[in-house]
Amino acid sequence: MTGLRERKKQQTRQRIAEVAARMFAERGFDAVTVNEIAEAADVAKATLFSYFPTKEALALDGVGGDDLAGIVARRPAGRTPLEALRAHYRAFAAEQGPDTDLDALLARVRVIQDSPVLRDAANSLLYRQRQALAQVLTDEYGPRAAALTAAQIAACLTTLQESYFGHLLSGAGAQDAGRALARDVELAFDLLERGISHLEGR
pLDDT of the chain, 202 residues: tens digit per residue: 567 888 899 999 999 999 999 999 999 999 999 999 999 999 999 999 999 999 999 998 876 667 899 999 999 999 999 999 999 999 988 887 665 577 888 888 889 989 999 999 989 989 999 999 999 999 889 999 999 999 999 999 999 999 998 988 888 888 888 899 999 999 999 999 887 555 554 4
CA dihedral 60, 65, 66, 69 (to 10 degrees): -110
* Coil, helix or strand at residue 96: coil
Cα–Cα distance for residue pair 202/96, rounded to 1 Å? 36
Q: How far is CA 139 from CA 4, 66, 200, in A?
A: 41, 21, 11
CA–chain centroid gap for 132, Å, is 14
Cα–Cα nearest to 19, from 32, 30, 7? 32
pLDDT at 103: 80
What is the reported pTM?
A: 0.79
pLDDT at 120: 92
Which residues belong to CATH 1.10.10.60 in the chain? 2-54
Give me the CATH code for the 2-54 domain, please: 1.10.10.60
pLDDT at 180: 94
Cα–Cα nearest to 74, from 62, 64, 87? 87
pLDDT at 127: 92
